Amino acid sequence: MSSVSLQPIVCCLGDPLAGNPMQLLMERAFAAAGLDWRFLSFEVPGSHLEDAVKGMRALGFQGAAFTSPHQVAVIPFLDRLTDEATAIGAVNCAFVSDGQWVGDNTDGPAFSQALRRHLDPTDAHVVVLGAGGTARAVASELARSSIASLTLVNRTAERAERLAGELKERCQIDARASAWSGNWEVPAETTLLVQATTVGWCEPDERPAVDLSACSETLVVADVIFNPPETRLIQEARRRGLTTMSGVEMMAGQVALAYERWTGSEPTGQVIRETLEEYLEV
C-alpha cells in the first residue's frame, strides 16, 4: 500500500472519451483488490499527445491506456514496443518497465481469447470489416491463427489493401482486400465475420452495409462494438440463428489484460465484466 500522498496513477487518453467506461472499470478493479491506485481520464487532442506523454513520465505515472485516435500516433513517444504491439502496429496500453515506457496491445489477444469460446479459427475463412486500429489488432491476431483466408473490407479501399499486403507478407497467409460498395455480400463459404468499424458505436439503429443472405448457418458473427452491447448486426445474426459474439467479451478481456500489465496481478474474480455489464445495463 502506498502513502496517501503517493498513490500510483494510471490514466486513459483519447479524444473524445465520452462513453468510455475504462475509469469506472479500473477504479472498481483496484478497490476489489484493495489497491490504493488511482485511474484518471484525459481528453487530449492529437496536437497535445507528445506533451501528455512527457507529462506522464515526469509525474511518474505507472502507465496509460490509449484509445482513438492515439493508438498509432503515440508510438514515436514511447521507448519500445512489445512483440504484440509491433505485429499489430498500434498501442492500446503502455506500462513502465525498468523506467521505460513500453507500448503494448491487448485488443488482439482479448479478441482471440473471447473468440475461442465460440470458434476455433483454424482453417476458417474470415471476413473483417474495417482497417482501422481495432481491425488491425483483430486481423493480425487471426492471421497468426492458421486461418484459411482473410478478406478485409473497408470504406477506404487503400487502407484495406495496405493491411492485407502487410499481413500476407508477414504471416504468409491468403489475405486480400475487397472494395466496399453498396451492400457487400458476405460469401457463402465465410466461417467468421468480424465487424471492426465504428459503425453502430452508441447508435443502436446503425448497421454496416452487409448482406448476410448467402451465408451458411454455421457462420459466426463477432462485433467489436460494446455499446450498445447488442448491435443491429448482432441482433440480425441472432435472428438468423447464427452464433454471435458481442464486443462486451473483448472489452472485458482487454481491460483485464491491461490491468495485469500495470499491476502485475490478475483482477479479482469477474469484477471487470460485472462492472461493464452494470455500466451497459445488461
Q: How far is the CB of 94 from ligand NAP (least distance, A)?
A: 15
Taking the least distance from each CB to ligand NAP, the nearer of 189 and 209 is 209
Taking the least distance from each CB to ligand NAP, the nearer of 199 and 237 is 199
* Residues 121-140, interacting with ligand NAP (CB under 6 A): 130-135
Q: How far is the CB of 219 from ligand NAP (least distance, A)?
A: 20
From 250, 266, 52, 279, select the one nearest 135 (Cα to Cα): 250
Which window, 34-42, 145-153, 194-202, 267-275, contacts ligand NAP (CB under 6 A)? 194-202
Give residue number: closest CB to ligand NAP.
132
From 165, 234, 166, 172, select the one nearest 199 (Cα to Cα): 234
Whole-number Cα distances in Å, 242 to 9, 24, 213: 43, 33, 12
Which window, 41-49, 165-173, 222-230, 270-278, contacts ligand NAP (CB under 6 A)? 222-230
β-sheet bridge partners, residue 44? none
Taking the least distance from each CB to ligand NAP, the nearer of 171 and 251 is 251
Taking the least distance from each CB to ligand NAP, the nearer of 82 and 134 is 134
Contacts with ligand NAP, 240-279, as mask; x by CB under 6 A:
-------x--xx--x-------------------------
Residues belonging to the chain = 282
From 189, 195, 192, select the one nearest 153 (Cα to Cα): 195
Q: How far is the CB of 224 from ligand NAP (least distance, A)?
A: 4
203, three cell numbers: 447508435
CB atoms within 10 A of CB 1: 7
107 binds ligand NAP (CB under 6 A): yes
What is the rounded distance in angstroms from the CA atom of residue 91 to the CA atom of residue 88? Answer: 8
Q: How far is the CB of 33 from ligand NAP (least distance, A)?
A: 21
13 binds ligand NAP (CB under 6 A): no
150, three cell numbers: 482473410
Taking the least distance from each CB to ligand NAP, the nearer of 7 and 23 is 23
What is the rounded distance in angstroms from the CA atom of residue 93 to the CA atom of residue 13? Answer: 10
Helix/strand/coil percentages in the chain, nearest 5 = 35, 20, 40
156 binds ligand NAP (CB under 6 A): yes
# of chain residues touching ligand NAP (CB under 6 A):
23
Among 75, 224, 242, 276, binds ligand NAP (CB under 6 A): 224
Among 7, 145, 198, 243, binds ligand NAP (CB under 6 A): 198
B/e letters for 29-50, b = 16+ CB within 10 Å, e = fewer, are bbebbebebbbebeebeeeebe
CB atoms within 10 A of CB 277: 14
Taking the least distance from each CB to ligand NAP, the nearer of 36 and 161 is 161
* Beta carbons of 73 and 89 less than 8 angstroms apart: no
What is the rounded distance in angstroms from the CA atom of residue 179 to the CA atom of residue 202? Answer: 26
Residues of the shown chain interacting with ligand NAP in the complex, contacts defined by CB under 6 A:
68, 107, 130-135, 154-156, 159, 197-199, 201, 224-226, 247, 250-251, 254
